[in-house]
Amino acid sequence: MRSFGPYIALHLRYEKDMLAFSGCTHGLSTSEAEELRIIRESTSYWKRKHIDPNEERSKGFCPLTPKEVGIFLSALGYPRKTPIYIAAGEIYGGESHMTELLSRYPFLMSKLEPFSNHATQMAALDYIVSVESDVFVHSYPGNMARAVEGHRRFLGRGRTISPDR
């Protein structure tokens, strides 16, 4: 990433399991929201089964959507040519939900192919690239975001942005 100049590491928590667990369906189609509800209700170790997505979002308990992140970064003044590393698993809905972010920031990168079948190595790579980034932004303050933020603070690294959802 350093070869591309200063970059943003974006911990984009818009994976299927995160959305199903949290009950957050803002910006999703009816069929996508139904798929997530079924996953949540059929996962025995998740305690909360019936979640009002509008209430969760109004309380700030949902991650920002990729579209919202694009708007947010633009509002902060980051130029279109800014390299952004996506530190996340597979984004739910793939390209259909990434279109707006990609249109604002076409220089998006994620993990390398050799790591695609190794979840722990992919997570480690995301962590390292995030700690080393010039700017770290997360769309939801989970364990990874807190660990990266603390590590960056300890090392005296660049800016960490925690949006108020």
Does 20 reside within a domain? no
Does 150 reside within a domain? yes
23: alpha, beta or left, given left = phi > 0 and alpha = psi -120 to 50? left
Higher pLDDT pick, 137 / 122: 137
CATH number of the domain where residue 143 is located? 3.40.50.11350
Does 23 reside within a domain? no
pLDDT attached to residue 121: 86
pLDDT attached to residue 114: 67
Does 25 reside within a domain? no
For residue 85, give its domain range: 2-15+63-161
pLDDT for 129 beyond 90: yes
Nearest to 109 by CA among 92, 87, 124, 130: 87
pLDDT for 117 beyond 80: no
pLDDT attached to residue 55: 94
Does 21 reside within a domain? no
Average the pLDDT over 7-35 and give the result: 93
Does 29 reside within a domain? no
pLDDT attached to residue 113: 63
| Total of domains in the chain | 1
pLDDT for 136 beyond 70: yes
Residues 6+ apart with CB under 8 A from 165: 60, 61, 62, 63, 64, 139, 140
In total, the chain counts a number of residues equal to 165
Does 117 reside within a domain? yes
pLDDT attached to residue 1: 87
What are the Cα distances from residue 60, in Å, to 22, 86, 163?
A: 11, 22, 10
Q: Is the pTM of this model over 0.85?
A: yes
Does 86 reside within a domain? yes
Chain mean position to CA 48: 22
pLDDT band with cut points at 50, 70 and 90 for residue 112: low
* Rounded distance between C-alpha atoms, residue 115 and residue 71, angstroms: 30
Nearest to 125 by CA among 85, 84, 80, 76: 85
